[in-house]
Structures are given as structure tokens and as C-alpha cells.
Structure 1
Amino acid sequence: MTAVLSQDDKYVRFVNVKKSYDNKNLVVKDFNLDIQKGEFVTLLGPSGSGKTTCLMMLAGFEDVTSGSIEINRKSVQDIAPYHRNIGMVFQHYALFPHMTIAENLAYPLKVRKMSSSDINTAVQASLDLVELSRYGDRYPGQLSGGQKQRVALARSLIFEPSIVLMDEPLGALDKNLREQMQFEIKRLHEQFGFTAIYVTHDQTEALTMSDRIAVFNDGVVQQCAPPAELYERPANSFVADFIGENNHIVGTVQQINDGVATIKLFDGSVINADATLNCPAVGQPCALTIRPEKLFIVSADRRYENFVSAEFITRLYVGDSIRYFFKLANGSELMVKVLNDHEAPHLIAGQKAELTWHTKNGLALDKP
């Protein structure tokens, strides 16, 4: 179950927030989210789902059409962006190209009218913090993408904000740099304890960095929960498909008893699944969802309560694992993921096989 925050824990609050740019169509339809002080919360979803708009409303760069946003139990609608004590990190760095790195870091402190000596001390401490102590005299154009993003991160923290907003901050980096910066951001978050609200469409990034993830689709939060709960107990088929890899077998709910849904498949066979809170009613179509690593090819030591017959199509070698692709008689495709070891089976195209899984690992959700 998702933890319910007490009133004192609700440091940032979005209450019935809606946003429209044309007074007709809602980009954000009804956003409710409470964030604890010091928490790392990620807004995850496809492009155009409303994530960045929510971030911009909190920062004060966009107006709220209706609803309210609160920080520390105070509405921020009438507070100017520069008075909200919020740091911001963008995907494309937003560094001033005509300023040195040290001048870029000093800028938010000069705006706050700090003394020159305090600014110089803070700038050097920030450069040390992101391991760029010898780069203060360089210009942004002389730095790599990863170095620029470190500077952008340091600039967002230099005035000690209580909240840091990050909008796709690693989207412009390659895979190795992204992973390094994920570690860097988490290290700084743990060191300073700021409240982080992070926007991304990269599910792996969200799963590895977040305390909780709010999954968006079409301006609505589908589910907000810790990473393991989102992955293991998705609220609906959209979340199940968006978070990680997933299989669907469509059927009809025959009965629900003691938390187990009995599902009749297209060929008349019957299987069982965990009846989720959003399990369709008896007589309604549903989707049995199973993660590829929880679905197995029947063998001497792999035989569980549920079976389906399938035809092997092909396998995909991805290094540490192997993905096996199968087709059911109705044309639906299933994927089985196994570790790449000496026990990995060898099948030929067209070969018939039985696939099996534990009832607890199959969830009865809405039909996608």
C-alpha cells in the first residue's frame, strides 16, 4: 500500500490542480500530490502527458488555471518565482555562454545581493562539490555535456534551496554519462536533503533514483507509489506497460474468490490470477499481465499452477539475459526473459512449448 502522509509531512502540495492554455483543453486535468520534505519524487510519463507543466507551475513559470499549490502549508500562487526558494535544472543546461563557470555559479548569489567574499567562498565550494574545482575560469563551450550538467546542478544548489526541480536533466547525455549523473544527483540529494521533484520519460532512471514515482498519462496521474510497488503492483494496464516490460493475455473474468480471479481465455482454457483492486467485475474482459522474468518455459523443475501453449518464434540475445518470443493461437505474443547461463533452453522456430507461472505473479487488470 502507498503510505499516507500526515498533514505535517505535506511539504509540497498540489490540490486539484488543472491547467489549460486555451481555456478549452486541459493539459493537466486534476493533479493531486503530497510530497514530504526531503523526498525524491519523479513525475514519469510519455511526452505531452503534463509532467513538465506541473513542474513549471510549481516553479512559478506557468499560472495555475484552477486548484492550488502549497509549499510548507502556504499557497504560492501570488509568490514570485525568485521568492519561492526553488532551484531549477534543465535538460539543456541553461548556462550563460558569455560567462565563465564561476560567473554562472555566482549569478544567483549576486541576484540575492550576497557579499563578494561570501560569493567567492560559495562558488569555490560548489566547484569542489561537483569535482570541477579547476574549471572556474572556463566557459560553457569548453566543457563536455556531463561537465555542463554538473555546473547546472551546482548552480541550482548554490543558494541552498529547499526544493530542486529537474526537468529531463540527463536527456542530452549518452548512456554512460547518464548513469554517472544519476549517481551524482542521488549523492547530492542524500548529502543535502533537499526536496527533489524530477521529470523524465525514462522509466529506468525513475526506478533507480526515486523514493516515489507519479506515473502520468493524458494529464492524469495513474498511480503514485514507490518504485517496487509500481513494478510489482501496477494499478492498471497503462502503468504495467509503461513501467518495465510486460505480457498481456486477454480473457474474461469468470469468478473472484479470496483475492483470486478465475479467467477464461480465448481457447476456453481457465487460469487464475491475483485479483487486484482494479480487477474488472465478473463477466467483464480483463488482461492478465505477467512480467517476462516471472513467466517460464515448462521444464522438469519449472511447473506451476497456470499453463498456456505457445509456439516459439525467436530469441534475442542481450548479454546478461536472453529474451524468448512466443505466439499464442490467437496471435498474441508473449516474452520470457531468462538469465544467460548454461541452463538457458535452445528452441527452434515453430517448436511448441508450454509456458507456466505462479498465480501470485499474474495480475488481473483492465483490458488495455
Structure 2
Amino acid sequence: MTTDGAPDFLRFANIQKSYDQKTLVVKDFNLDVAKGEFLTLLGPSGSGKTTVLMMMAGFESVTSGDILLDGHPITRTAPYKRNIGMVFQNYALFPHMSIAENLAYPLKVRKMPKADVSERVERYLKLIELDGFGGRTPGQLSGGQRQRVALARALIFSPSLVLMDEPLGALDKKLREQMQLEITRLHKKLGFTVIYVTHDQTEALTMSDRIAVFDDGVVQQCAAPDVLYEQPANAFVADFIGENNFMPGTVVGHDGDTVRVKISTGEEIVTRRADCDTVGSPCKVAVRPEKLFILPSDHAYDNTITATFSVRLYVGDFIRYFFDLPDGTEIVVKVLNDHAAPQFAEGEQAKLISRQHDCFAFAAKS
């Protein structure tokens, strides 16, 4: 069963992958996916996320373990028999075919009656808001339009599952954001199951029901976007998802789920315990720039940090303030760009405040 109690639709059971029979690029991957779920595999280059997608598609063999789709093992099933749609970064459309012919191709391969093919092609052209474009070739469309056609072609034969490998990587920022909304709209309308691969954390947070964060072939955490952001399981997730300040310190006490940490200013701050609570052990305290505030402030707080101001950067809708701790650690605070945004002289000391709920203590080694 998946974490929310929905029945398993897709299951990865003890999946491992090695290309040389020595080094594992995917290590003991276990995950259940519910029908209709949008799951994103997120991680840096070389972390193993694309390898998992290629094994799911059947383009890479599985070294050990099993993949089950709708209760049936498909680990040794040929790719063309898996009934899976694929969307790639480079569109993979046939340049010599019209848009309508591109959409019709997977239906003709499955020997669908001609009348049904025409009706479904027209329906999907309308669905992606390209009705009237069926006679054009891919070269006559914009990048965003071509990617919508690629998406429609992956969906038109009603696949069991849709795999997307960095599908928006070739688009500029504005088009990318438009296509994120388009894919999300189609997913909600049609209810298909998605495994989506990206290294773009904003894209993952925006589109996903759950995100599996990869590093070195291992899933570090798999959870809903808000849980990953607000409750990272370890320092890698805290650093990879969004932006975080990390302050070196030493654990001086703990009580249940909270830890007291002494930082280089000599001040003690209270944090939530992540993977660190041994008194005397080195640790690092993570707190996000938007969760830090500068005194005086209307925000409630538990912790105070004395820091030295270095520089102020104007970013438009907000301002980034950079401070230094005595050990040289740089701290960033994000402040909304309004009349209350403070002014500092270089070298001036300030008091930074935070809630203990917004701070996490991680083991220094992590």
C-alpha cells in the first residue's frame, strides 16, 4: 500500500542497477506509486533518477529486484509490451509527418480502426489547444507547441503509465512555466499516472504529489513537496530542496524532539532534532532565509543570533541581506521589499531571530 492508503499501482521492489557488476548506480530502490499519482524523481546529475526511469521503460535491464505494474511483474517484459507513454526533452516527433500523423502513429501501430483514429486525434488536438494545427509539421511549431504535441502523443493511446524525462529542459523560463501548468492541467483532467524526472527543484515542488529525492543511487526522502521543504530528513535534502543557511555548532542538550545547540557566537539556540542529539557532538543547524527575521520584528521567536552585516542585494520583490558569524559562516536573510526593509552599514551588528520550529539540527557528517 502507498503511504496514503491507496492501492499500489506501480511497485519497485529491491531494485538495484550496476553497469559493471561492481558499482551500484541504483541501490535497493523500494517505492509504491498509487494510480493517478504524480511522482517526481529529483536529484543532481548522476544520482540514479534517470536510470530508474529507463528501467521502468524497459530501455535498461534491472540487475536485481522486480518492477510490478498493476500487480504484474514487468521486469523482463519487452518495452513495446508495457503500454507506457514516454515524453522526452527533445520531443522525439517525426519531422516528416504532420502533427495529426504524429498523433495517429501510436494508434495505427495498435491497429485502431481508421474512424476511431481520426476522432481521437481531433479530440487530443483540442485537448492541447492546437485544433486546426493538424496539417502542420513539427518544424512549423514553437518549442512549447511541439512539447504539447509530444505530451498528447504519449497520452493518446491511453497508456497505463506516462514517463517524462526532463521534458521541459529545452524550453526557456517562461515557456517552461507555461508547460508546467499545461501538464498539471492535463494530469488533473485525465488522471493518468506520472513518473517525472527532473533536476529542477522548483518544477518538482510545483507539479508533484510526491517527490523522491535521489543522491548517489539512494532515495534520501520521499514525501509530499511541503513535507520535504518543511521537514527534511537529512542535510542533503535540506540543502538540495530550496535554500538553507547551515550554522556549525555543538549539541549541548536535548529534550524530546528538540535539541539545544551552541554556535560560534556563544549563543545557544533551540532547534528541532533531525538526525542529531548526542551531547558534545558537532552538528549544523539549518534555517531557511525566509524563516529568519531581523530585530525589531513583529514575528514571534525563540532564538536570537548576533551577526555582522556585510552586504544587501536588491532582487526586486525581496531583498537579500548577508551577515557573517564569528567563525566565517555566511547567513542570508530574505526580506520583502517594502518600506520596512532595514538599512545597515557594513560591519554593523544585528540580531537575527527565528522560531525553534523552523530550525533543524543535523549531524555534521551528513
Tell me if TM exceeds 0.5. Answer: yes
State how many pairs are aligned.
365
In the alignment, does 2:173 pair up with 1:175? Answer: yes
Q: What displacement does 1:185 show?
A: 0.4
Distance of 1:345 and 1:6 partners within structure 2: 45
Aligned to 2:122: 124
Q: Give 5+ residue unaligned stretches, structure 2.
A: none
Aligned 8 A contact 2:220 2:233 in 1: yes
RMSD of aligned Cα (Å): 1.5
Q: Which residue of 2 aligns with 1:305?
A: 302
CA contact (8 A) 1:5 1:36 kept: no
TM-score by length of structure 1 reads: 0.96
| Inter-CA distance 100–4: structure 2 relative to 1 (3 Å threshold) | closer
Residue 348 of structure 1 corresponds to 345
| Separation in structure 2 between the aligned mates of residue 197 and residue 51 of structure 1, nearest angstrom | 10
| Corresponding residue number in structure 1 for 2:11 | 13
For 1:113, the aligned partner's letter is K
**What does residue range 317-336 of structure 1 map to in structure 2 within 5 Å?**
317-336=314-333
1:126-145 equivalent positions in 2, closer than 5 A: 126-145=124-143
SS at match of 1:198: strand
Amino acid in the other structure paired with 1:132: L
Please give the per-residue CA displacement for 1:138-192, whole angstroms capped at 9, x wherever unaligned. Answer: 1111111001000000000000112111110111111111111111101110111
Structure 1 residues 300-309 or 237-246, which shifts more?
A: 300-309
Scaled by the length of structure 2, the TM-score of the pair is: 0.96
Quote the Cα distance in structure 2 between the aligned partners of 1:32 and 1:287: 29
2:240 corresponds to 1:260: no
Matched letter for residue 24 of structure 1 = K
Q: Is the 8 A contact 2:165 2:198 kept in 1?
A: yes
Spell out structure 1 runs of 4+ moving beyond 3 A. 3-8, 300-303
Secondary structure of the 1:11 match is strand
Deviations 1:181-235 (A, max 9, x none): 1111011101111111110011111001000000001111000000000000000
Alignment equivalent of 1:224, drawn from 212, 222, 225: 222
Q: CA offsets per residue over residues 76-111 of structure 1, 9 Å max, x none?
A: 012221221111100110111111111111111111
- Give the aligned residue type for 2:97: M
1:313 and 1:303 mapped to 2: Cα distance? 25
Q: Which aligned pairs between 1:152-301 and structure 2 lie closer than 5 A?
A: 152-276=150-274, 278-299=275-296, 301=298
1:308-359 CA-to-partner distances (Å, cap 9, x unmatched) read 2111111121211111111111100000011111111111222111111111
C-alpha displacement of 1:279:
2.4
Between the two proteins, what is the percent identity of the paired residues? 62
| Unmatched tracts of structure 1, length 5 or more | none
**2:297 is the counterpart of 1:314:** no
Indicate conservation of the 8 Å contact 2:265/2:306, yes or no.
no
